[in-house]
Amino acid sequence: MPNRLDPAIEIIKAKADEAFNKNDFVVALFLHTFLSNNDPGNGIYHLGRSVTNLRLQRWSDAAKDATKALELCEAKVHKAKAHFRRCQARRELNDISGANEDLEAFLFNGGAPKTASVEAQKLKATPRSANETVLEDITDVATLFSNTLDLADNNPDAVYEIRSASGKGLGAFAVKRLQRGDLILTETPMVPVDDTTPYNVVTGFKQLSPKNLARCLLLHNAHPEIGLFEGIYNTNGFAQAGVVLDASRFNHSCSPNARYTYHEPSKQERIIALTDIAEGEQIYVSYLQGRNVYASPRSKRRQTLSSRYGFCCQCTACDDANFEESDCRRQEIGMIWESLPMMIDGRKMLMSVVRAITLMREDGYLGDADDFAVDAAAVCAGYSDWESCEYWAKFAYENRAAEFGADHPHAEHSRQILDKPQSRENHPQAGLFPRRIYKDIRLPREM
């Protein structure tokens, strides 16, 4: 049942009119199609789309819409418009007797005689015939007019392509081999929203141009029940960035091969490779962050993903064959993370960090090891083991640079620690405890 009170509807109608008045008929067609798909029993949308189709010279579609409007609209004024539009479409389709019937019905429903007489003259002229496919759904419109709507990927340097990802809607796939640390995407958010109250979300969409609104309406909506714009926002919005068109097409995995990150200085969303990725491989990010993914069992992750995004995760970590082992590792990582602040023994703490990072690697989770390495560097600083401190700070820096970009504030912060490990500014506890050396505690070589 369409929610006619959803504020999104009035906004989309206004944007459709705006596009039409600017002769941006493809966008208007898209938006009218969206509206009529959303509320098929409302004849006004068919009436609106019939004139847009006339402008696009899509005669069969225009006639079909006018017929539908005649079926659904009660008011004479609407019926008159629908007959007139169908008359014009039929004229172009060479159906002169049908067009004449519509012209009579136009007059009968109060249409202006002067307009009718101009049209009657045109009906006497030889018509052209046209042959088109009928566009019924917004995806049909989007496919036919993907260039006009700027949906086609025109960036020759793009390292990914968006296409069907069986059972997961659309997804992003590598078009060349990628390495850990490679920048996959950098994109300006389309709907930035600082505060995600419903009002702000609706206002964010309202500010879009008709074309950009059309592009956003194509995004997946896992929550149509909560309002159109909020549903799209909640399914696709990124923390800090909001809705980012291409980035929103990347599917989720609990063992992702890429991560998304917001780069505040440039106000852009980025996606960076966490692992090497083969050409043709699907690129996955994790919709869950930090401990919610690397330190949570499958049941908890699935519950969150299902309620927020409406799907049951079947990634390699959630797969039935692997999940129990993966759960054991992730639960242990979680316990280590919880217990680190309580550990008073530096050696024990560093051994726990090594264990946690080893478990992450065994699980194929190649993000966030820096969370642990930063703590390890702080412990070594506390015991004045500057060589070990540097070792962990370097590890944290290199991982952050690869995962977020070297110019990201996270990486810059680790860089500062690396440059001045002894500074109290970087490590408030630097040199506080009796000196101890932990050179023997290092990570095993990368597997």
Ligand X SMILES: C[S@@+](CC[C@H](N)C(=O)[O-])C[C@H]1O[C@@H](n2cnc3c(N)ncnc32)[C@H](O)[C@@H]1O
> Burial, 439: exposed, middle or buried (Cβ in 10 Å; 0-12, 13-18, 19+)?
exposed
Question: Is residue 309 close enough to count as binding ligand X by CB under 6 A?
Answer: yes
Six token digits for residue 155: 């960036």
d(CA 301, CA 369): 19
- Candidate residues 310, 335, 422, 428; the one interacting with ligand X per rule CB under 6 A: 310
Question: Is residue 86 close enough to count as binding ligand X by CB under 6 A?
Answer: no
Q: Where are the alpha helices (DSSP H) in 277-322?
A: 291-294, 298-309
Question: Which stretch in 56-64, 249-257, 272-280, 289-297 sits in contact with ligand X by CB under 6 A?
Answer: 249-257
Cβ 169 to ligand X shortest distance, Å: 3
Nearer to ligand X, 103 or 219 (CB): 219
CA dihedral of 206, 208, 213, 219, whole degrees rounded to 10: -90
Question: Taking a C-beta distance cutoff of 8 angstroms, is the pair 363, 295 a contact?
Answer: no
Cβ 273 to ligand X shortest distance, Å: 18
Q: How far is CA 41 from CA 15, 71, 148, 196, in A?
A: 21, 10, 29, 32
Q: Where are the alpha helices (DSSP H) in 93-137?
A: 96-108, 113-124
Question: Is residue 222 close enough to count as binding ligand X by CB under 6 A?
Answer: yes
Angle between helices 323-339 and 369-382 (to 10 degrees): 30
Question: Which stretch in 49-57, 310-318, 394-402, 412-420 sits in contact with ligand X by CB under 6 A?
Answer: 310-318
Six token digits for residue 173: 């796939």
Site string for ligand X, 159-188 (x = CB under 6 A): ---------xxxx-----------------
Question: Taking a C-beta distance cutoff of 8 angstroms, is the pair 351, 436 a contact?
Answer: no
Largest pairwise CA distance in the chain: 103
Cβ 254 to ligand X shortest distance, Å: 9
Question: Is residue 223 close enough to count as binding ligand X by CB under 6 A?
Answer: no
| DSSP characters over 371-402 | HHHHHHHHHHHHTT-HHHHHHHHHHHHHHHHH
Cβ 332 to ligand X shortest distance, Å: 24
Residue, CB closest to ligand X: 169
Residues in 384-423 that interact with ligand X by CB under 6 A: none
Number of residues that bind ligand X (CB under 6 A): 19
Site string for ligand X, 261-300 (x = CB under 6 A): ----------------------------------------
Question: Taking a C-beta distance cutoff of 8 angstroms, is the pair 191, 213 a contact?
Answer: no
CA dihedral of 141, 142, 147, 149, whole degrees rounded to 10: 100
Cβ 265 to ligand X shortest distance, Å: 25
Question: Is residue 220 close enough to count as binding ligand X by CB under 6 A?
Answer: yes
- Candidate residues 68, 83, 90, 252; the one interacting with ligand X per rule CB under 6 A: 252
Cβ 200 to ligand X shortest distance, Å: 20
Question: Which stretch in 121-129, 217-225, 338-346, 398-406 sits in contact with ligand X by CB under 6 A?
Answer: 217-225
Question: Is residue 110 close enough to count as binding ligand X by CB under 6 A?
Answer: no
Residue with tokens 């491989």: 281
Cβ 350 to ligand X shortest distance, Å: 35
Question: Which stretch in 2-10, 153-161, 308-316, 341-349 sits in contact with ligand X by CB under 6 A?
Answer: 308-316
Question: Is residue 251 close enough to count as binding ligand X by CB under 6 A?
Answer: yes
Residues within the interface to ligand X (CB under 6 A): 168-171, 219-220, 222, 235-236, 248-249, 251-253, 309-311, 313, 315
